[in-house]
Structure 1
Amino acid sequence: MSRELFSERVPFSAWPNPAVPAVAAGVYAIWKGDELIYCGMSGREIDAKASAQPKKYGLVTRLASHWSGRLSGDQFCVYVANRFVIPSLTPEEMPLFASGELNLDARTRRFIHTHLDYAYALVQTSAEAYALERSARRGEIFGRKPFLNPLE
């Protein structure tokens, strides 16, 4: 397996991406400049879902979830908030969260749109996606492990 399976990098600010199929299993890598920060997959049980003909399922819905910046139900967004957004807050901004003038989801979304790109690889089955994701997280695809979710 190699990095040639992956698309060119696309900034999250350019979402939605019409090149990402509405129903597909896939693996994605998220970058902050030259730093690989996260690798993930989507499309578990894609074979069963495809027969039910969902409108959207798999890679497109996962990338859309990450694009949204919403922490609820999205572990990637939680990682981004905890490791990048919260440490960058100034003491003057902290009280603005208590008053509701600032929102962590909005700050996370802005960070994602401003600083992060993704590349993706389409696969046929969820088993292929799982294997490719694990290989990427071990550093075998890009020559480095992702900052937020590496595997030994």
Structure 2
Amino acid sequence: MRAHRAAQASGKGLFSRLNSHASGRRSGDQFCIYVCDRLVLPNLNTEQIAQIAAGELSLDRLTRQYIHEHLSYRFVETINGAAARELEAAVRRGALVAGQPFLNPLR
């Protein structure tokens, strides 16, 4: 956890990243873009699309709402960054029983 705290202090740690994801802001956050593109946009109705086009409804707000209502997270502490990247790649290739993730799989 000492490494997490040091990374957090530099603004690059796990908690900073999770806060960024939870914000729903698509600018600069690839996860939020994936959530919006794959999970939010397909469920918009014509009225919502018109409201977004008119600036009356925010895609970032809808993305944040979706994340807070439907998603959760888990994390595993690894020995170092290289081990974390290896584990991430394995999960993205489908190493878990659930198979490849819906968002950001390795193709």
Residues 1:65 and 2:45 aligned together: no
* 1:23, distance to aligned residue in structure 2 (A): 4.9
Secondary structure class of the residue paired with 1:70? coil
Gaps of at least 5 residues in structure 2 are none
What CA RMSD, in Å, does the superposition of the two structures yield over aligned residues? 2.3
Equivalent residue, structure 2, for 1:54: 9
State, as a whole percentage, how many aligned pairs show the same letter.
Answer: 48
2:34 corresponds to 1:79 = yes
The amino acid that maps onto 2:73 is: Y
Which of residues 122, 125, 137 in structure 1 aligns to 2:77? 122
Contact 1:23 1:56 in 2 (8 A): no
Go from structure 1 to structure 2 and tell me whether the alpha carbon gap of 1:23 and 1:113 turns closer, same or farther (over 3 Å shift).
farther
Structure having the higher strand fraction is 1
TM-score computed with the length of structure 1 as normaliser: 0.63
Question: 10, 24, 38: which is aligned to 2:4?
Answer: 24
Residue among 33, 49, 53 paired with 1:94: 49
Which structure 1 residue ranges, 4+ long, deviate > 6 Å from structure 2?
none
Q: Distance in 2 between matches of 1:58 and 1:76?
A: 16
Aligned length: 107
What's the counterpart of residue 61 of structure 2?
A: 106
* Structure richer in helix, relative to its length: 2
Which structure is higher in RCO with an 8 Å CA cutoff and minimum separation 6? 1
SS of residue matched to 2:4: strand
> Which residues of structure 1 form unaligned runs of 5+?
1-20, 26-49
In the alignment, is the contact (CA less than 8 A) between 1:136 and 1:142 conserved in 2?
no
